[in-house]
Chain A
Amino acid sequence: MSIKIIRLAKQYTSVQETERAVKALHNINLDINEGSTTIFYGPTGSGKTTLIQLISGILRPTYGEVVLNSIHMSRARDREITRFREEYIGYIPQEILLIRDLTVLENILSPNLFRNETRKALKVRALELLEELDMLHKQNAKPYQLSGGEQKKVMIARALLKEPGYILADEPVSELDRDSANSVITLFSEYRKRGSAIVAASHKKLQMRHRCDIYLLYKGQIIEYTRGGAK
């Protein structure tokens, strides 16, 4: 399992035709392997979210290629990308994407129900995840009854439920307090040990407990690469 990003560029066409198209990403080349941790840092508007959405197959590249295992994203059919996302990708979006009138537990379960697993087994795992994130007492609450940080934790649990090969996290800890952020990082480390690759985007420093590849993004380009986080 690997992700290859080759000369990737993404342009957003502007709403008004008189304006220029926005270049969100430009000439990105990367390799992300099984069990690795990759972090994108950068200020707001540097293209972190776009890059994560391109890797997850939510967006399609304008130029270049994202190759997930052997699927070429620019040419793949929608069905193939969805199947890949269902099987391998646990996506944690930056914005709050929860279904308003489902409970926390139902929100975690509902997108994962189409896999070949019984609801009972999924529920057991969901409750374990909620316990690790200190959210067990909120399992029957509705998303609007939760704080921003708690909503983020629900989205993290939803993404991790299927034990994905790739965890794509967009600002996973930016709204969390220090304890919650630590428990999320611990969870990520556990998943990494089991073989998941972690790809995170953040404008804040992430205190990873293992080796990771750090890329600094600025105006849609990688301007610096370092290795860090090893202890």
Chain B
Amino acid sequence: MLGNSFWLAATNIRRKKFSSILFFVIAFFISQSLFLISLTRSFIRLSDFSDIRTFFSTVVLSVLVLSILLLIALTLLHMNSRKRELGIMRIFGARKSEILTVACLEIVLLSITGAAAGIACMVLLIKTNMLYLPHFFQGMARIDTFKLIGIAGQTIFLVALIEVLVSMLLLAILLHKDITRLTRGSV
């Protein structure tokens, strides 16, 4: 039942505060990098700016790669700490697919809120000129609101997809172990 799975996911987010905050923060940073990449792609077309665009993309991409590596490390730690309870759930009849659904819901909730907060923060920084690069963000003014919302939505979807793919892959590998080995895992 999806309602019950939602309840379990919310309970897990509440009790695993530390890792939940980390998933949120990673989504926050990945979304900012992706959002900036999408923005620059949509309004910088002039060849004059090609050098600065390359430089900017390199910086943003390296932040993105680092965030994803951090995400993998965090997921590994998170899953290892939950090994025993995964075993418990399996012993008492939860199927692998049901455990994956609950974990997926947790990650989706955290990544969507994290990404939305990251994008809101970035828009605020740009609009208030706190993050100001000459000539660079002036193009922001030329983008209409609908397009901006579209880019934001696309970014949130991408962030959720990255987080879900990484965590589900690692969780599926972990769930492949047999139950007795899982229950002996770290508490």
Seen from chain A, the residues whose Cβ lies within 8 Å of a Cβ on chain B are 53, 56, 58-59, 78-79, 82-83, 85-87, 89, 91, 93, 97-102, 106, 110-119, 158-159, 162
Closest Cβ–Cβ distance, residue B1 to chain A (whole Å) = 7
Interface residue B5 (Cβ < 8 Å from any Cβ of A): yes
Q: Most chain-A Cβ atoms within 10 A of its Cβ — which of B4, B11, B85, B92?
A: B92
Contact present for B179 and A114 (CB under 8 Å): no
Closest Cβ–Cβ distance, residue B132 to chain A (whole Å) = 45
Closest Cβ–Cβ distance, residue B119 to chain A (whole Å) = 32
**Contacts A106-B11, A118-B1, A119-B4; is A97 near B183 (CB within 8 Å)?**
yes
Closest to B90 in A: A82
Q: Mark B52-92, 1 if CB is under 8 A from A, else 0.
A: 00000000000000000000000000000000010111111
Closest Cβ–Cβ distance, residue A157 to chain B (whole Å) = 12
Q: Which of B39-47, B93-101, B140-148, B150-158 is the contact stretch?
A: B93-101
User: Which residues of chain B are within 8 angstroms of A101 by Cβ–Cβ distance?
Assistant: 15-16
Select A87's contact among B88, B93, B98, B187, beta carbons within 8 Å.
B93
Select A114's contact among B16, B98, B183, beta carbons within 8 Å.
B98
Interface residue B7 (Cβ < 8 Å from any Cβ of A): yes
Interface residue tally for chain B (C-beta within 8 Å): 25
Closest Cβ–Cβ distance, residue B182 to chain A (whole Å) = 10
Which residues of chain B in 1-29 are interfacial with respect to chain A, using CB atoms and an 8 Å cutoff?
1, 3-5, 7-8, 11, 15-16
Q: State in angstroms the CA–CA spacing of A200 and B169 once bound together.
A: 38
Select B88's contact among A53, A83, A97, A118, beta carbons within 8 Å.
A97
Known A-B contacts: A79-B96, A86-B95. Give 10 more (CB < 8 A).
A86-B92, A91-B91, A93-B91, A97-B183, A99-B85, A101-B15, A101-B16, A110-B89, A111-B93, A118-B1
User: Which residues of chain B are within 8 angstroms of A91 by Cβ–Cβ distance?
Assistant: 91-92
Q: State in angstroms the CA–CA spacing of A79 and B90 once bound together.
A: 11
**Contacts A59-B180, A97-B183, A106-B11; is A113 near B91 (CB within 8 Å)?**
no
Q: State in angstroms the CA–CA spacing of A191 and B42 once bound together.
A: 67
Closest Cβ–Cβ distance, residue B154 to chain A (whole Å) = 33
Contact present for A113 and B95 (CB under 8 Å): no
Q: State in angstroms the CA–CA spacing of A112 and B4 once bound together.
A: 10
**Contacts A58-B180, A97-B88, A111-B88; is A79 near B7 (CB within 8 Å)?**
no
Select B95's contact among A99, A114, A118, beta carbons within 8 Å.
A114
26 contacts between A and B (CB under 8 A): A53-B180, A79-B95, A79-B96, A82-B94, A85-B92, A86-B94, A86-B95, A91-B91, A97-B88, A100-B85, A101-B15, A101-B16, A110-B8, A110-B11, A111-B93, A113-B1, A113-B7, A113-B8, A114-B4, A114-B5, A114-B93, A114-B98, A118-B1, A118-B4, A158-B92, A159-B92
Closest to A95 in B: B183
Closest to A164 in B: B93
Q: State in angstroms the CA–CA spacing of A98 and B16 once bound together.
A: 16
Lowest 3 CB-CB distances: which A-B pairs, in order?
A: A86-B93, A111-B92, A113-B4
Q: Most chain-B Cβ atoms within 10 A of its Cβ — which of A56, A111, A162?
A: A111
Q: Most chain-B Cβ atoms within 10 A of its Cβ — which of A82, A101, A111, A114?
A: A114
Q: State in angstroms the CA–CA spacing of A59 and B179 once bound together.
A: 8
User: Which residues of chain B are within 8 angstroms of A89 by Cβ–Cβ distance?
Assistant: 93
Q: State in angstroms the CA–CA spacing of A35 and B187 once bound together.
A: 37
Closest Cβ–Cβ distance, residue B124 to chain A (whole Å) = 35
Closest Cβ–Cβ distance, residue A87 to chain B (whole Å) = 7
